[in-house]
A and B are shown apart, each in its own frame.
Chain A
């Protein structure tokens, strides 16, 4: 891979009016057949293609995208990256991802602005504090950085926060993961697209999958808006539309698609240099490099594919943020938006083979997929390349919904992203 993005190339292009920059990724024509087709050019899909090409030597790969690449949840999330999950299976998967995040900028020669400014998960009740203690201890024994803090220790690190005992949801403490943080979401998609493209991956935008050609239980090819593609292996990474794509293969998923809303404030001078999340009040907040407060809400309860939710959710979230930070009351919301999150019964993803040979699904990340982007792509690439799961995603198979071996992270995830 060419590592041609640097201060030196920037200076030299600056002197040439930047006329020499190459396309970030190639625009490719669709070929008749591919060894592997990935449906969905979001962060996870592009990462999958990148690792398939780089680590598994797969040569002939296409990534199909019905819209523009990185335009789904990759472009709509609040960019939080952390790995302090409760259960071993989830914690190890997210920690694998966090480790990849830590070297991602160098790895793909694209500054994804991964900023390890720490994440606080606040506790407001005695049971919250028990859960925090339990999770922090589990994290420590799994080798994941985590601290359980009391209210004053939270205040010492976040001077703006309201730890008065007289609030409706007094802050009793928090779990804190110092290595967690945020990243520049679009850059992740563009960086993976560029890196995958350099490994020869064809990225086909505005190409919608319309049907699957399956015979004798084996994937044969895909009908798309740009024509038929012959392929024996298809990886579906279509967050927000997983059920729709699965239906083409006659598979009914344990997934419901809900709106998840978020909003940003106007740009402010630096005021908050970490990420604060609270399940009890239903809100979380960080400040972007551009200065906006980035704020997320809980999901809307109904299912929807519209990428918009109901305004009372946003209103409640604003109230929640004021409960934590009363001074933000006069700060103004600049823009709100919604994404579609595919939720599973146990708030854990599905990274799995299916009953169709050569058809693989990576979905159900709910509200927390962004943080897993590199790790998800990495283990999914392994699953496709070997037709067998990577040890880190073996537990995330579809059959757990039959055996009952769920990995219930609701306590750890909730609205917490």
Chain B
């Protein structure tokens, strides 16, 4: 059972206050009509689902109701950090750039 620090409230709270919202940074295609059925299906359904570090969204559902991003290791439940969506995006892009 996690303790999650909400970057909006700047407080560490119990997992029960939050709602898991799935993999982060799955962007909706800008022009859905231009996508093939296959590409659209992949956007709808496929997931990275990694064993290891996972960038994921949580909603501080019974708190500020804002979405935040966790970088969490799915193999051992270690949480590397939590960010607002925009800050997380920068972290995520940096990580991918240096990888």
Contact = CB atoms under 8 A, between A and B. Distances in A.
A and B touch in the complex (CB under 8 A): yes
Interface of A: 241, 243-244, 247, 252-257, 301-306, 310-312, 345, 401-404
B51 A253 contact: no
B47 interface: yes
B19 A301 contact: yes
Contacts of A243: 47-51
B76 A306 contact: yes
A305 B56 contact: no
B42 interface: yes
B25 to A, nearest CB: 14
Interface string B21-58: 01000000000000001101110111111110010100
A256 B47 contact: yes
A365 to B, nearest CB: 15
Contacts of A252: 42, 46-48
B55 to A, nearest CB: 11
A303 B49 contact: yes
Given A252-B42, A402-B41, 19 more contacts: A241-B51, A243-B50, A252-B47, A252-B48, A257-B51, A301-B19, A301-B20, A302-B72, A304-B74, A305-B75, A311-B1, A312-B15, A312-B16, A345-B44, A345-B45, A401-B42, A402-B38, A402-B40, A403-B41
Contacts of B75: 305-306
A315 to B, nearest CB: 10
B47 A310 contact: no
Interface string B74-85: 111100000000
A302 B56 contact: yes
A297 to B, nearest CB: 14
A308 B82 CA distance: 22
A312 B1 contact: yes
B92 interface: no
Contacts of A403: 37, 41
A241 B46 CA distance: 15
A311 B14 CA distance: 12
B45 A401 contact: yes
Contact of A310 (B15, B38, B41, B51): B15
30 contacts: A243-B47, A243-B48, A243-B49, A243-B51, A244-B50, A252-B42, A252-B47, A252-B48, A253-B46, A253-B49, A254-B45, A254-B46, A256-B22, A256-B47, A257-B49, A257-B74, A303-B54, A305-B75, A306-B76, A310-B2, A312-B1, A312-B15, A345-B44, A401-B41, A401-B45, A401-B46, A402-B37, A402-B40, A402-B41, A404-B37
Chain A binding surface, main DSSP class: loop
Contact of A255 (B16, B22, B37, B47): B47
Contacts of A404: 37, 41
Contacts of B20: 301-302
B72 to A, nearest CB: 8
Contacts of B48: 243, 252
A236 B85 CA distance: 36
A345 B49 CA distance: 13
A305 B47 contact: no
A53 B93 CA distance: 49
A303 B56 CA distance: 9
A306 B74 contact: yes
Contacts of B38: 402
A302 B58 CA distance: 9
A312 B46 CA distance: 29
A244 B56 contact: no
Closest 5 CB pairs of A and B: A254-B45, A402-B41, A243-B49, A301-B20, A310-B1
Nearest to A254: B45
A243 B45 CA distance: 13
A401 B16 CA distance: 32
Contacts of B46: 252-254, 401
Contacts of A303: 49, 54, 56, 74
